[in-house]
Structure 1
Amino acid sequence: MIIWRNSLKIHHLTEEKRNLDANYDKLVEDVNQLLNAQEERVLDLSYMKVNGHGAESSSSAVSVMKSEIEKKEAEIMKVKGKYSVLMNLAEAQGKVIRTQKANHLKEKEKISEENYNLKVQVDKLSKFEDKLNDEIVVLNLHIDGLKKGIENLIKRRDELKLQIADQLEALEKNQEKLKMIRDILDG
């Protein structure tokens, strides 16, 4: 936004400089014409003096020419002053634009470096994520193995419970038989 405003100002200043250059060239041309006219009048006055025509008309013509020359010179000085100010302003703006461009390039370089560092960190995190995913797969395989082992243990426990129940039942029958044998022996 700042660069756009500065470029707009530079455009306006360039236009103003062109106008001032044109005015300056016109003033130089006018001064040259005035000097040529003054030279012709001086020649005419010399001719008048030689031929005896009025001396007072020549002095008034010279004073009029001098005042015109002074006016033109004053205008030229004004234009030169404006031109000088414009050149200084354009130079200052050029320095500001170069400084801003250098700052912009530094900022862009800094952002590029930070972007590179972020990419490196993202790559590291991606590798770490892949490693974690691999470990999760291995853990899931172990968990599946443990689940199968638990299922087998539960089946074996249930089988052992049945065997224990069968053994307890057989023990009770044997105790009853033993009791009957004792009763028979005792009695």
Structure 2
Amino acid sequence: MLEDKKSGRTDDNLENSLKIHHLTEEKRNLDANYDKLVEDVNQLLNAQEERVMYLSYMKVNAHGAESSSSVVFVMKSEIEKKEADIMEVKGKYSVLMNLAEAQGRVIRTQKANHLKEKEKLSEENYNLKVQVDKLTKFEEKLNDHIVVLNLHIDGLKKGIGHFIKRRVELKLQIADQLKALEKNEEKLKMIRDILDG
């Protein structure tokens, strides 16, 4: 079970690393695109200004003061339009930056949680190893006691075997004694019969 969790966490780490890598690449691309877009917009604005200035100059020379005010109005509206486009691009860039930052925070939070869980699992693993070591030592002590008990049991078995053998010998001796007693009683009876008779 711990190995499955560990494997799952390793997969999560790899997945998070890939997400971070992709987000970093996406942010670099966005930065590059934004910089290029700003540069293009500035070049466009400069070109438009030059064009408007050139056209206004040409129209002023061609049509006089009345047409120059309309050119200035057109030029101002073009500049305002370009500034609105720039603001829109900046807004999109800001949204993308906020999104990348939020994703980074989520990934950092997940990584921190993963590290905490990993520390907890490491601590539990250490505690389990300590418990296993204690159980192993206890098992070794029990095995030592079992060896001593087996030696005692072997000694008792030998003692019982010796006791049974001695008992058989005593039974034989008692039987011999009983036979001798019977013979003595018969002799005694014969002696009494002789004495009485």
TM-score, normalised on structure 2? Answer: 0.79
Matched, 1:54 2:63: yes
SS at match of 2:109: helix
Aligned twin of 1:30 = 41
Task: Structure 2: give runs of 5+ residues left out of the alignment.
Answer: 1-10
What per-residue deviation string (whole Å, max 9, x for no partner) do you get for residues 115-161 of structure 1? 11111111111111111111111110010000000000000000000
Aligned-partner residue type, residue 84 of structure 1: S
Give the alignment's Cα RMSD to 1 decimal: 2.7
2:47 paired with 1:45: no
Q: Which runs of 5+ in 1 are unaligned?
A: none
Aligned residues: 185
**Superposed counterparts of 1:79-118, under 5 Å:** 79-118=89-128
Give the Cα separation in 2 of the matches to 1:120 and 1:21.
55
The answer to whether the 8 Å contact 1:34/1:69 transfers is yes
Change (3 A) 1:16 1:93: closer
Task: For residue 119 of structure 2, give the secondary structure of its aligned residue in structure 1.
Answer: helix
Q: Greater relative contact order: 1 or 2 (C-alpha under 8 angstroms, separation 6 or more)?
A: 1
The answer to whether residue 175 in structure 2 is matched with residue 165 in structure 1 is yes
- Does the 8 Å contact 2:59/2:67 carry over to 1? no
1:143 counterpart (153, 157, 173): 153
What letter corresponds to residue 142 of structure 2 in structure 1?
L
The 3-state SS of whatever aligns with 2:154 is helix
User: 1:20 and 1:98, CA in 2 relative to 1: closer, same or farther beyond 3 A?
Assistant: closer
How high is the sequence identity, in percent, across the aligned residues? 66
What amino acid is aligned across from residue 104 of structure 1 in structure 2? H
Partner Cα distance (2:77, 2:165) in 1: 127
